[in-house]
Structure 1
Amino acid sequence: MNRYERGDREYQGLMGGAPDQDLAAVRQRSPQLYDALIEGGFGGTLAHPELSRTDRELATVAMLSALGGAEPQLASHIRGALRQGITPTELRALAEHVSLYAGFPRALNALAVIDQVLTETGEPRPATLRRVRLADHETLVAAYGDSGPAVLLVHALGLDWRMWEPVMATLAEAGRRVFAYDLRGHGWATGSPNPFGMADTAADLVGVLDAVGVDRAHVVGLSYGGGVAQTAAVTHPERFASLALLATTDHPFDAFESRARAAEDSGMAAQVVPSLTRWFTAEALAVNGPGVRYARERVLRGNPADWAAAWRAFAGVDVQGRLAGLDKPTLVLAGERDASTTPAIMSTIADRIPGSRYQELPGTPHMQTLEQPELVAAALNDFLPAAS
């Protein structure tokens, strides 16, 4: 393979289209410049394997944003970045980063181009964000949708509200008001008072509902968030219109305390491998897609004291058998490949809740929304009511 052929191949790998079609105008104006671009650029530097295609597109978008005056090229590379698996959230964060090092005018211009490309490709606008003061700390509430039944999403331990981002817009588009918030000790609420118990997390959930003006919500909790949701359903059933339990437990596991001590003794970097291999399939870890990248970064940036406090709170979950009289529509959603809260564990939870619906998602591990968001969204769309 000569450099021209390598450049043609690399252009298609990075940008998706055929260069002789995408760059036809350049080739017509200057065949020499076209050849230099394909042979020297895409067939040379850009074909080198030291930087991945994802890293190269992220770097290119950053440099073109900082440079300014290259909006057509910036738009092309934003499309290339999306093709390489860079998410709209990461692109918007990149514009924020540019504002610190190249100034707000460059960042605002880049953000306008990012927004234009995302609109063209059908990506939803970002969630609206609101800071909310609870009893003893401040948290962040994200929202999609202006009308319809209220849905409150409760995230897993070690993550934040963004673990729900892959499904929020889809749920809202069907005619719902969809909210997600940062649990104490997570995300915006990092460093909130600890130790605490599951009763405190349940009170926080009710406080969030009060803050957003919702009397009764359809509450969805995943993993630790499922423990929080179940605790709140036991103590405040009047605030629930329905309950969806994803990849969770109604009783503590012996491993919870050891996970708390592991962070205190070894720090957060040592928690990445045991956490991610418990949360994702080997295939997802190999691909290193957006969900895996997000989860890894959340664990690495976590506060050991908050991590330990959350695991110890979860070790006090006490809801087994106490939802039998809830009398609310309940969905129990298991992942076929969940090695943590297995289908056997989840089906037993469903057995303990009369009238609940049990469903198993094929090929799905513990972090359902981060690896199989389409399946989760479809299951929740089928379960949750929406505005007619």
Structure 2
Amino acid sequence: MTVLFLHPVGLDRDAARFLDLGADGGDVHAVTFPGHGDRRRARPGLTLADMADEIAGHARGPFDVVGASLGGMVAMHLALDHPGMVRSLVLACTTPDGAPDVMEARAAATEEHGSAGMLDDTMTRWFTADGLASGAPYLDHARERLLAMDPGALADTWRAIGAHHVLDRLGDITVPATCIAGRVDASTPLEAMSDLASRLPAARLVELDAPHMAFMENADEFAAAVRAHLEWVEGDDR
């Protein structure tokens, strides 16, 4: 089995290091989305479907796709538009509807204040107060990546998220899916994740006492949920 990890907005493929599935968890591969990491700002108007198309053009599946936040949104497009690439899905703290008004306001604020000016807002949405006070390595990683990202590219991505809407297509995603919800997620409430799971034909809902960046702050529990998902999928494939 091969796991493909798709990262949240502002981070890059290196975030996959926080997903430790152990020796029996298979190979974990990751990609960096346009405008993230060391990649240049993408063309104007790039969509999440375009990001999924790029993955399909450069990677060989099928994959068990683990998508966190933005990564989960792109994973939905990958499953819908390139179903042969996806054996199963783990959709963590994500949504099928990008809330365009909220994302446009966030994009405009990013353009006005820059990546540094939005850092505190982003970190408090992503992590709990205890997590932020912990001094854990994932905090330095998140801050470094967010500060390094071009504000224009970050604003572009917020707008791409705002244009994301696959709610009416979820019934077409028939692969096994595990939806991981954080009970203290300030960005994607538990109710939204429960609704997502109910609309997918072959989905399970897993709840963690975790914030939006569950795969970082609650790495052990998150990895255990992914391993359980892979065992479930392997059982279905027999």
Do both share a fold (TM > 0.5)?
yes
Query: Is residue 204 of structure 2 the alignment partner of residue 352 of structure 1?
Result: no
With over 3 angstroms needed to count, the CA separation of the structure-2 counterparts of 1:301 and 1:215, relative to structure 1, is closer
Paired AA for residue 222 in structure 1: A
TM-score by length of 1: 0.58
Paired AA for residue 183 in structure 1: F
- Residue 172 of structure 1: CA displacement? 5.3
- 1:336 corresponding residue in structure 2: 183
TM-score by length of 2: 0.92
CA deviations on 1:321-356 (whole Å, 9 max, x unpaired) are 312132210100001110110111100101111231
With over 3 angstroms needed to count, the CA separation of the structure-2 counterparts of 1:383 and 1:259, relative to structure 1, is same
Query: Is residue 16 of structure 2 the alignment partner of residue 158 of structure 1?
Result: no
- 1:383 corresponding residue in structure 2: 229
* Alpha-carbon distance in structure 2 between the residues aligned to 1:287 and 1:326: 38
Of the candidates 234, 245, 250, which is equivalent to residue 80 of structure 2? 234
Written as runs of structure 1 = structure 2, the 5 A alignment for 1:205-220 is 205-209=55-59, 214-220=60-66
CA deviations on 1:343-384 (whole Å, 9 max, x unpaired) are 11100101111231001012x000011101101100000101
Secondary structure of residue in 2 paired with 1:242: strand
Of the candidates 22, 32, 35, which is equivalent to residue 182 of structure 1? 32
8 Å CA contact 1:184, 1:192 repeated in 2: yes
Paired AA for residue 338 in structure 1: D
Paired AA for residue 107 in structure 2: A
Paired AA for residue 153 in structure 1: F
Q: How many residues align?
A: 233
Secondary structure of residue in 2 paired with 1:365: coil
* Alpha-carbon distance in structure 2 between the residues aligned to 1:334 and 1:163: 19
- 2:215 corresponding residue in structure 1: 369
8 Å CA contact 2:80, 2:172 repeated in 1: no
Paired AA for residue 166 in structure 2: V
8 Å CA contact 1:234, 1:319 repeated in 2: no
Which of 1 and 2 has greater Rg?
Answer: 1
Secondary structure of residue in 2 paired with 1:173: coil
8 Å CA contact 1:231, 1:318 repeated in 2: no
* Alpha-carbon distance in structure 1 between the residues aligned to 2:141 and 2:40: 17
* Alpha-carbon distance in structure 1 between the residues aligned to 2:16 and 2:151: 23
More relative contact order, 1 or 2 (CA 8 Å, 6+ apart):
2
CA deviations on 1:192-223 (whole Å, 9 max, x unpaired) are 333311221110221232xxxx3311111110
- 1:261 corresponding residue in structure 2: 108
- 1:283 corresponding residue in structure 2: 130
- 1:115 corresponding residue in structure 2: none
Secondary structure of residue in 1 paired with 2:38: helix
Paired AA for residue 152 in structure 1: L
- Residue 188 of structure 1: CA displacement? 2.8
For structure 2, the 5+ residue unaligned runs are: none
- Residue 265 of structure 1: CA displacement? 1.0
The range that moved more, 156-165 or 374-383, is 156-165
CA deviations on 1:288-318 (whole Å, 9 max, x unpaired) are 2111111111111110111011111111112
> RMSD between aligned alpha carbons?
1.8
For structure 1, the 5+ residue unaligned runs are: 1-148
Of the candidates 3, 10, 23, which is equivalent to residue 173 of structure 1? 23
* Alpha-carbon distance in structure 2 between the residues aligned to 1:240 and 1:262: 35
* Alpha-carbon distance in structure 1 between the residues aligned to 2:11 and 2:182: 19
Identity of aligned residues (%): 37
8 Å CA contact 1:164, 1:369 repeated in 2: no
* Alpha-carbon distance in structure 2 between the residues aligned to 1:295 and 1:369: 12
